[in-house]
């Protein structure tokens, strides 16, 4: 289920005083199965971009091919596109509304016209995939904690078994533990499933840890599209856009500037630990011995 956008422009409020060009000449190809991150400051066009992916908004001009088919051609089934591309909005728990968790998660597959047993089967699989405890299936979604509500909302999209899962800041407002758990589960789903994942995030640490490809948006334009490591090597340019590299990048550069020969492209804590230890072993072995630890 590949995605191909060609020269997409999107303008809000064309012909009014509020005209705003939110996307400028965006071209992008995502092969099936990739885990892609999108970052950018508020208002850079991230939400507008991802709403194109399931046809919620239609480009002012440009082309969109889903699995080789022209989405904007006459007769193309938008319903089909929405079944294949599941979009989890920011604060998706605001859209929970059914009397209990299981019924809520069944809503999507029911809408797809699936029989009741199949809906329940899919809903249970989806709830299990996001780590939601079975004993609360009968609970009102409104009585759950913030993290659990978020899980139910994500399960509601997963139950439709999309081939592409698009998440707009899925961890916004969660505490660090809830944030890590949800992202770990999404990464696990990506590993196990036959699914493309597009993750919009504000957190450089999160994208560095999880995604294989990172797209940076700035004022409606796609300014970087590369591996997270390569993108973060432009940390000075990112700063000019009001963004920053992961904190680790700054620590690595500071250590290097102070004479420790570390790999400055390390972006995760684990990579940083390895390269610091390696450099210490070579340059300052006595430091490691003094602390009584060799690792």
Give me the residues that bind ligand ADP (CB under 6 A), please: 12-13, 18, 20, 22, 40, 42-48
Q: Which is nearer to ligand ADP, 90 or 111 (CB)?
A: 90
Least spacing, CB of residue 13 vs ligand ADP, in Å: 5
Least spacing, CB of residue 220 vs ligand ADP, in Å: 7
Any bridge partners for residue 12, and if so which? 20
Least spacing, CB of residue 214 vs ligand ADP, in Å: 15
Residue 150: its H or E element = helix 146-158
Q: Which is nearer to ligand ADP, 46 or 190 (CB)?
A: 46
Instruction: Check if the beta carbon of residue 260 is closer than 8 Å to that of residue 283.
Output: yes
List of E strands, the chain: 3-12, 20-30, 35-40, 61-66, 69-70, 85-88, 164-168, 196-200, 213-218, 221-226
How remote is the C-alpha of 203 from its chain's centroid? 10
Least spacing, CB of residue 207 vs ligand ADP, in Å: 14
Q: Which is nearer to ligand ADP, 48 or 275 (CB)?
A: 48
Helix (H, G, I), strand (E, B) or coil at 192: helix
Least spacing, CB of residue 21 vs ligand ADP, in Å: 8
Positive or negative, the CA dihedral 58, 64, 67, 72 is positive
Least spacing, CB of residue 14 vs ligand ADP, in Å: 10
Rounded CA gap, 130 and 184, in Å? Answer: 10
Q: Which is nearer to ligand ADP, 45 or 147 (CB)?
A: 45
Going by C-alpha positions, the residue among 48, 65, 66 that lies closest to residue 57 is 48
Q: Which is nearer to ligand ADP, 172 or 288 (CB)?
A: 172
Q: Which is nearer to ligand ADP, 45 or 162 (CB)?
A: 45
Least spacing, CB of residue 23 vs ligand ADP, in Å: 8
Rounded CA gap, 123 and 161, in Å? Answer: 10
Least spacing, CB of residue 47 vs ligand ADP, in Å: 3
Rounded CA gap, 4 and 10, in Å? Answer: 16
Q: Which is nearer to ligand ADP, 13 or 242 (CB)?
A: 13
| CA-based radius of gyration for the chain | 22
Going by C-alpha positions, the residue among 232, 233, 226, 276 that lies closest to residue 256 is 276
What tokens appear for 120 in the block? Answer: 């329940």
Q: Which is nearer to ligand ADP, 43 or 115 (CB)?
A: 43
Q: Give the strand order in the sheet containing 35-40.
A: 85-88, 164-168, 196-200, 35-40, 213-218, 221-226
């Amino acid at each position: 289920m590949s995605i191909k956008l060609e020269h997409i422009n999107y303008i809000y409020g064309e012909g009014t005083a509020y005209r705003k060009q939110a996307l400028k000449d965006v071209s992008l190809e995502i092969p099936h199965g990739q885990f892609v991150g999108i970052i950018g400051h508020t208002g850079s066009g991230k939400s507008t971009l991802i709403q194109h992916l399931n046809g919620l908004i239609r480009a002012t001009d440009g082309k969109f091919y889903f699995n080789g088919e022209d989405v904007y051609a006459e007769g193309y089934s938008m319903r089909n596109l929405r079944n294949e591309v599941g979009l989890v909005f920011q604060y998706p728990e605001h859209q929970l509304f059914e009397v209990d968790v299981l019924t809520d998660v069944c809503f999507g597959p029911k809408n797809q016209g699936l029989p009741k047993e199949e809906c329940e089967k899919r809903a249970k699989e989806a709830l299990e995939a996001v780590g939601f405890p079975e004993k609360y299936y009968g609970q009102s979604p409104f009585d759950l904690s913030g993290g659990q509500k978020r899980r139910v909302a994500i399960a509601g999209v997963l139950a439709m078994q999309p081939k592409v899962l698009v998440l707009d800041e899925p961890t916004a407002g969660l505490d660090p533990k809830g944030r890590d758990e949800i992202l770990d589960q999404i990464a696990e789903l990506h590993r196990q499933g036959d699914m493309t994942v597009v993750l919009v995030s504000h957190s450089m640490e999160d994208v560095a840890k999880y995604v294989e490809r990172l797209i940076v948006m700035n004022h409606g334009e796609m300014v970087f599209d590369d591996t997270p490591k390569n993108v973060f090597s432009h940390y000075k340019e990112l700063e000019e856009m009001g963004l920053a590299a992961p904190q680790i990048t700054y620590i690595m550069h500071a250590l290097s500037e102070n004479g420790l020969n570390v790999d400055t492209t390390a972006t995760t804590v684990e990579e940083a630990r390895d390269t610091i230890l390696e450099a210490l072993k070579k340059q300052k072995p006595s430091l490691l011995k003094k602390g009584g630890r060799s690792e």
